A and B are shown apart, each in its own frame.
Chain A
Amino acid sequence: MKFLHLVWRNLTRKKLRTILTIGSIFVAFLLYGILGAVKLALVGGVEFADANRLVTRHRVSIIQPLPVSYQARIARIPGVNLVTHQSWFGGIYQDPKNFFPNMAVEPETFWEMNPEFTMPADQKEAWQRTRTGAIVGVTTANRFGWKIGDRIPLNAPIWPSKSGGAWEFDIVGIFEGTKKVADTSAMYFRFDAFDEGRVYGTGQTGWFQIRVDDPQRAAAIVAAIDEEFANSPAETKTEPEGAFMQGFASQVGDIGTIVTAILGAVFFTILLVAGNTMAQSVRERVEEIGVLKAMGFTNGLVLAVVLGESMLIACVGGAIGLGLALLATSGGSPVPAMFPVFYIPTPHAIVGVVLIVALGVIAGVLPAVQAMRLRVAEALRRGG
């Protein structure tokens, strides 16, 4: 412990260099943190998909509607626990730039099917009572400052209303996520009101959500559902929810992969440069280390002093960078319109800590070992 002072004096000898190196490491780990959040935002849903949930859509494409009557037929298939359905509404609030997902659903089955969302019981009841009622996720409610009791007009280019004007919904509840990964940017309203109010398409819905008893049997149930509607005018395609989301993620596709690859490359480039500077600063002091050894410092002690120095730099820079990234993403997404789910997953943060330690060790150990092996006389001569 008494040698801590020595480490400290070494660091403060060239203050500027130390600060600049810490600065580089800070930037690297800030980027690393952001990388984790971006990755999650682009493909996160896939990993956290509910293994007990299947999605059934029209075989040709998801924009083709399916008859609502399929619901009862799917429910009869053995192994199916619960069936509900959702319809994409595509409503626009004031301006297309204010995009958020909005869908018509069945309030009766919604909560049991989607346990990742939660809302106070009185608001759930209000939704059951109010035909024009809509519930909105906390992300979007905050984004537009909506409160319970507000009446929200949505224009729906896909679905003209019988009244001819905008659709109006009364906010009766604001739901939150029970899990961090839950996307609370959507608005849901009642299918019965939607079905009655639209000019065409009555009796048709977008896709079915299905809950099964046993995910092990999912493959058999998928086959049974698609078999049920084979050779009908509207054939279906059923997938586990994870595969369904994977499909979407891979459609956004290459761009996400490339952005994450680039961020990764950036991270390692900065680390390489910073590590090189740290190693350099030890190499410059060979003669001093010779003096230390001449004074009776053991090899182990020299190693510890040099390693301590590089560890300190890595830890300070890395901790501030990673900490700032965690802090910036802890209060929900800073860019809800772009990425509704945006936080750093814990495993990613843990790997970050490991990387910080690894940086400190690797940048310190090579010059430290060199220093350790030095013969005193040679080191002293080298300084000249």
Chain B
Amino acid sequence: MELAQATPAHKIGMGGMLQSRHLRTKISHALLHVVLLVLGVTFIVPFLWVASTSLKLPGQIFISPIEWIPKHPRWENYAEIFTYLPFHRFVLNSFFLAILESSGAVIASTIVAYGMSRIRWSGREVVFGLVVATMMLPGVITLIPTFVLFKRLGWVGTYYPLWVPAWFGNAFFIFLMRQYMLTIPIELDEAAKIDGASHFRTLWQVIVPLCGPALATIAIFAVLGSYNSFMLPRIYISQTSMYTIQLGLQLFQGRFGNFWHLVMAASMISILPPIILFFVAQKYFVQGIQLSGLAGR
């Protein structure tokens, strides 16, 4: 009897506890959503503000409180900035450089990573140490001497200083590719070798087809790094027709800084390509950053 009574009572007790626990997680989740949403809005507000300001006239910008959605959006602002500076040219220059730089970085880094993960040779650990050390070196130390080097070569004023170094591989990309290649079973290479395949064929026909995600990740980071870079183009490029979008935006800000609506329209043109790239390839972005964190292990 006692036992029979005790069991349902126990069950009710457990059920009540579970219910209150369930309610508690529900409330805490709701609170969490509020916090995350407020923070999310804080991060996104600058974008909304740029977009909104780019569609206004000066008279609509300098009023308080802010009118977030302009009643009469002025799309003409976007046409107007092209009459002052050739922004389409700047964007194309940026794309051209991004393609040259990223293809070099991807090809060279893949080849080097193969030598560091698929070929057994004494010394590859030393090279790995050098790669990791290079990742940690502050690039500022080479700023002045490489300028002198490129000046001697007659490369100042050309795109060469911006893309040629990429074709020697990038330490960070080499690191990512190496880590990825190490996860591929070595038996695949051995089978290829038995079939008489050279290292180059093994790389091209066995390894590269299996590295899709890693290749996509480093390609995206290379494109983004090239597109967003400012200091080196600022140092090496002086002719306006060769400007990248970042240089063009800086020039425009200097000349037309008082016209907020136009500067914001120009900023939108600079911001949109990376954002589109991000939404197309979000998975690889996240993957790449997570992998970069592995460098700490």
- Do A and B form a real pair? no
A interface residue numbers (CB < 8 A to B): none
B interface residue numbers (CB < 8 A to A): none
